[in-house]
A = this chain, B = another copy of it.
């Protein structure tokens, strides 16, 4: 983790899609005062399960996984974060320790806003508080959706879904080229909730069917519509 001059919130390209979209200009200026900016190398831990949160992270660049480990060392990825996404807000609201860890999937940069500023912001700006409420509601819906799929869908369908999730999360806007992402089979398995060998096997099947291609750990989605059909087989 490295610290350096932070980009200004007012000029941040992701602000209008973030929790801070309804902040006043003065509020943003205040935040700039106290926030700090960190960079993380691929694989570095941003925060760790069991630790106390001291503030809110906001991803500026890169990809982040939020995941939990069990005692066997098996990992499950709860969600993925992209630039503009906030990390750790649930623990801050509950005023409780992190129940999951955040790890950079790529070289990542993130701003850090102290808890006191975060709390002050949501106490003083009703719009932001409302947006946060909506964010929580959305996250809850997403989580329940994933729970249901984990309980009811076979691995092949969940893998198709995971690939589409990666695409919808990380595909750059107005990018017409097929979506590519570099992700280890192990991380993919931890999203799907299965073993990496199983991911590899179904991925090979998708490759045979011309739905995806891969070179090393880079996967390219050639036919997303086919993945959508596969993911919805039993909906």
Stretch of A31-39, A69-77, A103-111, A176-184 on the interface side? A69-77
Within 8 A of B (CB), among A76-108: 76, 78, 90, 93-94, 96, 99-100
Q: How far is the CA of A100 from the CA of B145 in the complex (A)?
A: 10
Q: How far is the CA of A150 from the CA of B148 in the complex (A)?
A: 10
Q: How far is the CA of A70 from the CA of B231 in the complex (A)?
A: 13
Interface of A is mostly: helix
**Could you say how many copies of this chain the assembly holds?**
2
Q: Which range contains the number of A residues in contact with the other chain?
A: 35 or more
Of the candidates B136, B148, B150, the one whose C-beta lies within 8 Å of that of A68 is B148
Stretch of A3-11, A126-134, A163-171, A200-208 on the interface side? A126-134
Max count, chain B CB within 10 A of own CB: residue among A70, A140, A143: A140
A152 interface residue per 8 A CB criterion: yes
Do A94 and B141 touch across chains, with their CB atoms under 8 A apart?
yes
Do B234 and A70 touch across chains, with their CB atoms under 8 A apart?
yes
